Amino acid sequence: MYDYMKALHARFCQEPELQKARAEMERTYREIKAKLVQQDQETLLQLANLENELREEASLTSFIAGFQLGMGIAGEIEPYCFEDEEEKRATERAKMRCPQIKI
């Protein structure tokens, strides 16, 4: 089920185009990287990777919650059928007229 939700998420949750913000983030990342020693650069990269994983997981969790909510709402809404409604009313009227007859 988790893989199915991941596939649905990938299909329907398109990331908005944030090219300006991404370019700024990349520029800032390069600037920080240039000022850090090798060990600090690795730590910074680990931090960035963990942040990306956290964002992806939060996005998927949010999508799953919304999907479950939508399915719950859809499950509570019964499709309306005029013929079924008329049959139900006719049955109720018949029961009221002749309570001894079982329908």
Nearest Cα neighbor of 10 from 63, 79, 83 is: 63
Instruction: For residue 102, report the phi and psi dihedrals to the nearest 5 degrees.
Output: -95, 130
Interhelix angle 2-12/38-76, nearest 10 degrees? 100
Kindly report the number of other CB atoms within 10 A of residue 52's CB atom. Answer: 10
Q: What is the pLDDT of residue 102?
A: 63
Cα–Cα dist 4/94, whole Å: 49
Per-residue pLDDT of the chain (103 residues; tens, 9 = 90+): 678 777 777 777 766 666 787 788 888 888 888 888 888 888 888 888 898 899 889 888 888 888 888 888 887 777 767 788 888 888 888 888 887 766 5
**What pTM, to 2 d.p., does this model score?**
0.49
Domain ranges for the chain, please list them.
2-78
